[in-house]
A and B are shown apart, each in its own frame.
Chain A
Amino acid sequence: MADKNVLLVEGKDDLQVLRHLLRHHRIPEPFIKENEGVDRLLESLPQQLKSSELERLGVVLDANASLAGRWESLRNIAIKSGYTNVPVHPDSSGTIIKQQDKPGIGFWLMPDNTIPGMLEDFVQHLVTENGVLWTLANDSLQRIPKPEQRFPDSHRIKAHIHTWLAWQEEPGTPMGLAITKRYFKGDAPLAQKFIAWIRRLFIEG
């Protein structure tokens, strides 16, 4: 089975969040493929671009600590794959590269193509405006004595989101489902910006 529209993501969480977000916006779903992490995704990307029948390929990656570094590796892969008009910097509304006789490519760097971060930094923007529980969750994270903090500081936002999720109507709801259950706001401005990128890549392009 060859898919015309493919969206590559790092892992299961990314897949779930984006799938529920697309459903929330009633976007016809591309084939969403998770890749067991960023290294495997980057290794796989040149082959994915050569897969048969492919017309449009979206890639969603965490910028992590270095947006510029992540962009550089994506850019190099696109250039090596024969794309000639790859921008030097990522587009803040999501990068899209079109070239005759080649599949269209889209790149989105979590959270918003402009700052370092990850999926949870994106999801943070979907938290509903009632900020009481959000602030409380943050407070309780602050109160963890240092020797008891099991997660690295770089994952503080993950801990924050999952603590907040634990206090919703159904504790333990995963991030993706939390969009459908409307704990998260699927049409927050950043979500709309992401959906606009998806539309430009897969539907209008």
Chain B
Amino acid sequence: MLTSLQIKNFRPFRHLQIERLGQINLIAGKNNVGKSSLLEALRLYAYRGAPFLLWEILATRNEIKRAPDASLESEDNVGVVLDRLFYGRNGNEKGPEPVQIGPSDSSEDTLVITREWRPENGNENLQLRESSRVVEAGKSPEPNVLSIRVGPAPIYFLPLDGFWALRNRRWASPESLPAKEFNCFYISADGLKKTEIGYLWDNIALTDLEQDILFALRIIAPDIERLSLVGDLMNNRERSAVVKMKGHSRPIPLNSMGDGMNRIFGYMLALVNARDGILLIDEIENGIHYSVQPNLWASIFNAAHHLNVQVFATTHSWDCITSFQKVAAENKEKNGMLIRLEAKREMTNAVLFDESELSIVSRDQIEVR
């Protein structure tokens, strides 16, 4: 579990330091303060800066097209696009400062992404050449590269001219990993796609984890007895959840059970699939009625604790914060943490409220949004 986090020069963060993290972390703050960027940073950290994720992050924000784009064949254009990952975007003459993401107390486990600017004289990169290994076999590192390193592990260079070809690459084999990646699951503000739900269900179908999902769903709808996924003749890739309810002989669609049940099912599927790792949920309240939110949090606190998952969720919603506050205060042993991001001049501050502080906040109705 991550106990602290420090981010430097990534997206809107020149420097963000979060001294303490809980097991279940809710991230609040005004628009554009960087809530989603914080999740992106955690993803990059978990995947050790894998090339596919760099592309994925840029594509999600419509900063590059998902379809092949001839302009990205040129390393100059690729450089311009990749610079958007860095704080300040344009950087100075030497290029943007390196992105750093990791625990605040350990540089051993910090992911460092550096944009190596094309140097005026080649000497600056001499040392890099000597210590370098390249992702693509047979290519020597070019001066215009992205270098990726975790702590003392070997530095990896991604040449920009071949970057487009790497857009689907995870770190290919264990020995090519900068360091071991850990289980990380991300749910965007749109929720999971039906195809993803099917895939995640198949991962755990007929295992004991099915019980964890049912247990979590029963906190919200106690009468659920069994759950399954069924296909559609017209569309064989998409399946949807149906449940057997106490006192009903026929299964009914999960989404007929009220606001956001499908979305909650998606969260629970992601939770069990993220066991011993981290789960990231952007705008967790989307599509979920406020009256259900306390039970949603109760389910998440329970399951995250049981499955050893560290959860990071963002929210815009006051109701969502209030219900989180309440559930965190009631589950002190499960370490809920509310993190409010605030932009202060060039810095981003993280204001923290742990579970015992949250019980005082609830009691005294202190405004923490």
Closest to A40 in B: B364
Given A47-B353, A47-B357, are A35 and B364 also a contact pair (CB < 8 Å)?
yes
Whether B340 is near chain A, meaning CB under 8 Å from some CB there, is: yes
Determine which of B345, B349, B367 lies in contact with A1 in the assembled complex, contact meaning CB atoms within 8 Å: B367
Whether A48 is near chain B, meaning CB under 8 Å from some CB there, is: yes
Determine which of A3, A33, A52, A101 lies in contact with B340 in the assembled complex, contact meaning CB atoms within 8 Å: A52
Indicate with 1 or 0, residue by residue over A44-58, a CB within 8 angstroms of chain B CB atoms: 101110111100000
Determine which of A40, A48, A51, A101 lies in contact with B345 in the assembled complex, contact meaning CB atoms within 8 Å: A101
Contact A101 B344 (CB under 8 A): yes
Determine which of A35, A46, A52, A101 lies in contact with B367 in the assembled complex, contact meaning CB atoms within 8 Å: A52
Contact B367 A51 (CB under 8 A): yes
Given A43-B360, A46-B357, are A51 and B366 also a contact pair (CB < 8 Å)?
yes
Whether A2 is near chain B, meaning CB under 8 Å from some CB there, is: yes
Contact B367 A53 (CB under 8 A): yes
Given A43-B360, A44-B360, A46-B357, are A51 and B368 also a contact pair (CB < 8 Å)?
yes
Whether B369 is near chain A, meaning CB under 8 Å from some CB there, is: yes
- Chain A residues near B342: list those with CB within 8 A: 52
Within A14-57, the residues touching B (CB, 8 Å) are 33, 35, 40, 43-44, 46-48, 50-53
Closest to B349 in A: A101
Q: How far is the CB of A31 from chain B (nearest CB, A)?
A: 10
Q: How far is the CB of A78 from chain B (nearest CB, A)?
A: 16
Contact B364 A44 (CB under 8 A): yes
Secondary structure at the B interface, as helix, strand, loop or mixed, is mixed
Contact B366 A44 (CB under 8 A): yes
Within B238-295, the residues touching A (CB, 8 Å) are none
Closest to A54 in B: B367
- Chain A residues near B189: list those with CB within 8 A: none
Indicate with 1 or 0, residue by residue over B68-99, a CB within 8 angstroms of chain A CB atoms: 00000000000000000000000000000000
Q: How far is the CB of B171 from chain A (nearest CB, A)?
A: 39
- Chain B residues near A46: list those with CB within 8 A: 357
Q: How far is the CB of A99 from chain B (nearest CB, A)?
A: 12
Determine which of B345, B349, B366, B369 lies in contact with A47 in the assembled complex, contact meaning CB atoms within 8 Å: B366
Closest to A3 in B: B367
Whether B361 is near chain A, meaning CB under 8 Å from some CB there, is: yes
How distant is the Cα of A60 from the Cα of B157 in the complex, in angstroms? 60
Contact A2 B367 (CB under 8 A): yes
How distant is the Cα of A33 from the Cα of B365 in the complex, in angstroms? 10
Whether B351 is near chain A, meaning CB under 8 Å from some CB there, is: yes
Q: How far is the CB of B303 from chain A (nearest CB, A)?
A: 28
How distant is the Cα of A38 from the Cα of B33 in the complex, in angstroms? 36
How distant is the Cα of A49 from the Cα of B48 in the complex, in angstroms? 37
Kindly list the 6 A-B residue pairs having the minimum CB-CB distance in the complex, ordered from nearest: A2-B367, A44-B364, A51-B367, A50-B351, A101-B344, A51-B366
Q: Point out residues on A near B: beta carbons under 8 Å.
A: 1-3, 33, 35, 40, 43-44, 46-48, 50-53, 101
Q: Point out residues on B near A: beta carbons under 8 Å.
A: 340, 342, 344-345, 349, 351-353, 357, 360-361, 363-364, 366-369
**6 A-B pairs with C-beta separation under 8 A:** A2-B367, A47-B368, A48-B366, A52-B340, A101-B344, A101-B345
